[in-house]
Structure 1
Amino acid sequence: MKGEFAVKPSQLAQTLQSVLTPYQNRKRWVVALSGGLDSTVLLHAVAAMEKRPELCALHIHHGLQSQADQWQRQCESLCRDLGVAFSALNVTVVAGSGPEAAARDARYQAFSEFLQCGDVLLQAHHQDDQVETLFLRLLRGTGVDGMQGIPESRALADAELVRPLLLLPREELERYAELSQLSWVEDPSNSDERFDRNFLRQRILPLLEERWPAYRETVTRFARHASEAGGNTSTDISGLLQSSGSAYAALDVELLRAMAETGRKTAIRQWLSQWDLRPTEAQLKAIQRDMVFASRDAEPLIELGSVQLRRFEQRLYLTELADFDAAYQQHWDFSQPLLIPGAGWLSAEACEQGGLQADSVLVRLRRGGERCTPLGRRHSRSLKKLLQEHHIAPWRRDRLPLLFVGEELAAVADLWVCEGHAGSNNADLPTATGWRLRWSPME
């Protein structure tokens, strides 16, 4: 531990109370629990709050370290001791970007799938994380928006993400853990200086602290000023956004073309910043040249970190760089959500009429040559033609789950149920329980 600390555990609790009071009437608080120091302290302190909604902890098992199973067991044990509900999700970290970015993408996809409308996801980022992020962005040549740092809160799927410890330095969390006699896990990768963040934390920032002991407060104050300035100059892009069928809204190309260059660049930056993407000036020029002003029949692609920027039917889309197994197939009984690695999550809820009627199905991906008759039609058509009719983007078609009953195609994701496999909509007939499907692509 680093000498004496000016902050008592009660003051950490006061910080939580101040930040989280506006969220006390929400349906549920979900603490993202890795088992490390930061999230362990957050869960312990939140569990001790007198006024709070239902609380649960969510652990994401990345499977990247040999100790991953041990970490999950420790998280489960902590929750049992605190009387907090515990859930764990296994994710597949897909190569395509750096390991840190790939793990982060898989983690946030899992968060989005787990969270329900009205939930608040609590993450344990603290002041040191904020400072490291700002320095890394500066070294990568970020724009002004990037210097706003990690936001204290933002929307995430149908829920909200909140970081209540963002103004507290890590040493305060260390003191709280020591006085509360908490134990936590240490990720060995945190000491690997091949990662930029670790090199900065272990080599550079200690030198800054020797010369400027209050550098954390100064840097975070700068981020706050940048955020306030950004709020005053931001462009309203809501009119440019279109539903895209994924976590990322699509951007209207025709409206972008009609804008002046300065406004267009600002709109693109702001759109990408919602998902922590900070394009360089060269990337912005490429997006305008190769995406916005490309010929109408072009299908350009630009890689931005761990995602791809694509264009389809005059809209810009963000998609994950995820590999998937085209030969995937799995029997499914609807009882639990089904993760199709590299593609997405398939879930089902019981419905009285009109859903898919089956006790179980075989789920696989498109192989070519499939045909079916969507409910309400008289004749079968090729799956390729039907997907074109539904304006499904080309890169999504091979990742859509196909549900088979025996040898017959019974449903295509949540797009349609096929003739002969739907619950009755005739009020004169007995109600037959079926399944209403929901497909959440991994984008």
Structure 2
Amino acid sequence: MQLEECDKIFAPFAGRPLLAGFSGGADSTVALLACLRARDRYNCPVTAIHFEHGLRGEESRQDAAAARAFAGSCDVPFREIPLGLSPGPGLEERARAARLAVWKQLVTEFPGAVVVLGHHADDAVETLFLRLARGSNVSGLAGMRPVSRLDGMTILRPLLAFPRAEIEAFLRAQNLRWRTDSSNQENTFRRNALRNIILPEFRRRIPGAAAGLLHSLETLRQDAEFLEEAARERFAAITGKRETTVEFWRSLPQALQIRVLRYHLSELAGREVLPPPAFLARLRAVWSDDSAEAVRIPLSGMCTFLVHRGRMHPADDMPLPGPEVWRWRSNPRFRWGEFQLELHPFSSADAPPTLFEARFDAALLPDELVVDRRRPGDRILPFGRTTELSLKKLRIDRKLPFDYPCPVLREPNGRVLWAPGIRHSACAPLSAATTQAVEIRLRRPDDGALPPEESA
């Protein structure tokens, strides 16, 4: 491989800061080297970002030390971000969500910054297979792109044209070493099993499969770009509108419906929204029904849509925003969508907290908390228990609706601290050793309280 082949990815972003994900592995090392070329050629400041997931003990600490040393040798500022994840169900998704929340915060600290990730051709092929199993459309199958947008961030992947073997050969030729993550051999994770067992056998049994898969990926990207451009043209007819007509949606080919709907929902929410297939299926069933009956269709984590008399619009006043960082020690009030979180003093003589009040040991809370919507797979360790429970099950037990709008409060690693109206966690509990306690209350700032139907 030749690093200059990456230049065309960086050229349109001349002068903008590059935040390079840098684990110290082979792919992130070459991605950082590509960033250094962009620093020299396009005046792009570079910062190396290292995530410490907290899962591999001493090996993980050695990875961080090696990454810091390499960044220093390249005169690159280095930042280590502790995530503090715990083993257990949904680890891959929890880790991704935790990293995404940090990336979103980092790009606000570096105006104009773009994120650079070291994903390569083999990663893209693995994503293709995983999304095939999930039932994705062509845009999902095309997966990783050299330049993409996610929740307002620009993400560059300059190594997608190069397989892992070529990347490692490049480093050996440069006499450069890299770190190897031992957890990559743990085949209990889906991606690892695909990487280490299934794809090697697939390539062994089907000659030419390696090149064929890469060619298919490139073709899929071209097809996806064509469909997405067509969807953007159709979306122009409803841009800026909260209310749309059923006839507009009926007129779209099915291949464009899902894409135009994604643009529409993302514009309404102010963030990237990927409508699940079940939501689209319900909409299509309603769009094809000419009855005059009003139908409410909830979209988890956003709002409920009302379809009535040939028109469709959000039934709720405001869609829920995405994750936002709350530095609660310096900011006692925090606005999230139509809700407000407030810090209040309290004493042991006060009445027990309601479901919309939570009390914590301040010394045990991280300085930064994440206010977020509920997400599929969320679990919480309820106060008084030793095992986590599904937040979905707890919501159902309280007979709360599917589109229940309240936010959740998380630690930076994604763990749920408090789900207002549902359950308080056992994290950062008050005890005899507590010297500073805080009470957090959830309010709707417009009327100072939650509506009666959402009270405890």
CA deviation map 1:358-398 (0-9, x unaligned): xxxxxxxxxxxxxxxxxxxxxxxxxxxxxxxxxxx941387
Q: What residue number does 1:44 align with?
A: 33
Q: What residue number does 2:280 align with?
A: 284
1:331–1:153 CA distance, 2 compared to 1 (3 A): same
C-alpha deviation, 1:315, in angstroms: 5.3
- Does structure 1 residue 339 correspond to structure 2 residue 368? yes
Query: d(CA) in 2 for partners of 1:240 and 1:98?
Result: 37
Q: What residue number does 2:260 align with?
A: 267
Q: What residue number does 2:95 align with?
A: 103
- Indicate if the aligned counterparts of 2:18 and 2:47 stay in contact, CA closer than 8 A: yes
CA deviation map 1:198-246 (0-9, x unaligned): 222222322343411422432222222222332343245478688xxxx
1:176–1:73 CA distance, 2 compared to 1 (3 A): same
CA deviation map 1:374-428 (0-9, x unaligned): xxxxxxxxxxxxxxxxxxx941387799xxxx99999999x89xxxxxxxxxxxx
- Does structure 1 residue 65 correspond to structure 2 residue 68? no
- Indicate if the aligned counterparts of 1:29 and 1:120 stay in contact, CA closer than 8 A: yes
- Indicate if the aligned counterparts of 2:282 and 2:297 stay in contact, CA closer than 8 A: no
1:203–1:407 CA distance, 2 compared to 1 (3 A): closer
Q: What residue number does 2:121 align with?
A: 127
Report the secondary structure of 1:161's partner residue.
strand
CA deviation map 1:278-325 (0-9, x unaligned): 733x342246779xx9x99979464xxxxx4544725554767xxx99
Report the secondary structure of 1:233's partner residue.
helix
- Indicate if the aligned counterparts of 1:400 and 1:412 stay in contact, CA closer than 8 A: no
Query: d(CA) in 1 for partners of 2:187 and 2:265?
Result: 29
- Indicate if the aligned counterparts of 2:19 and 2:49 stay in contact, CA closer than 8 A: yes
Query: d(CA) in 2 for partners of 1:94 and 1:258?
Result: 49
- Does structure 1 residue 163 correspond to structure 2 residue 195? no
Query: d(CA) in 2 for partners of 1:329 and 1:238?
Result: 51
Query: d(CA) in 2 for partners of 1:325 and 1:94?
Result: 26
Letter in 1 for 2:25: G
Report the secondary structure of 1:221's partner residue.
helix
C-alpha deviation, 1:32, in angstroms: 0.8
C-alpha deviation, 1:145, in angstroms: 2.3
- Does structure 1 residue 234 correspond to structure 2 residue 231? yes
1:270–1:301 CA distance, 2 compared to 1 (3 A): closer
Letter in 1 for 2:201: L
- Indicate if the aligned counterparts of 2:21 and 2:50 stay in contact, CA closer than 8 A: yes
Q: What residue number does 1:190 align with?
A: 184
State percent identity of aligned pairs: 26
C-alpha deviation, 1:83, in angstroms: 1.1
1:189–1:94 CA distance, 2 compared to 1 (3 A): closer
Letter in 2 for 1:21: A
- Does structure 1 residue 113 correspond to structure 2 residue 105? yes
1:119–1:93 CA distance, 2 compared to 1 (3 A): same
C-alpha deviation, 1:256, in angstroms: 6.9
Query: d(CA) in 1 for partners of 2:147 and 2:162?
Result: 15
Query: d(CA) in 2 for partners of 1:329 and 1:174?
Result: 48
Query: d(CA) in 1 for partners of 2:26 and 2:105?
Result: 25
Taking only aligned residues, the RMSD between alpha carbons, in angstroms, comes to 4.5
1:94–1:47 CA distance, 2 compared to 1 (3 A): same
C-alpha deviation, 1:328, in angstroms: 3.6
What TM-score, normalized to structure 2? Answer: 0.60
| Correspondence 1:219-258 to 2 at 5 A | 219-235=216-232, 237=235, 252=242, 254-255=243-244
C-alpha deviation, 1:126, in angstroms: 0.9
1:269–1:341 CA distance, 2 compared to 1 (3 A): closer
CA deviation map 1:89-143 (0-9, x unaligned): 2235489972111111110110110112211211111111111111211122112
Q: 1:91 aligns with which of 57, 65, 83?
A: 83
For these two proteins, the number of residue pairs brought into alignment is: 332
1:109–1:159 CA distance, 2 compared to 1 (3 A): same
Q: What residue number does 1:18 align with?
A: 8
Gaps of at least 5 residues in structure 2 are 305-314, 324-355, 374-403, 410-417, 421-435, 447-456
Q: What residue number does 1:313 align with?
A: 316
Letter in 2 for 1:340: L
- Indicate if the aligned counterparts of 1:325 and 1:341 stay in contact, CA closer than 8 A: no
1:301–1:158 CA distance, 2 compared to 1 (3 A): closer
Letter in 1 for 2:407: R
C-alpha deviation, 1:156, in angstroms: 4.6
Query: d(CA) in 2 for partners of 1:272 and 1:190?
Result: 36
- Does structure 1 residue 30 correspond to structure 2 residue 22? no
1:192–1:226 CA distance, 2 compared to 1 (3 A): farther
Q: What residue number does 2:171 align with?
A: 177
Report the secondary structure of 1:104's partner residue.
helix
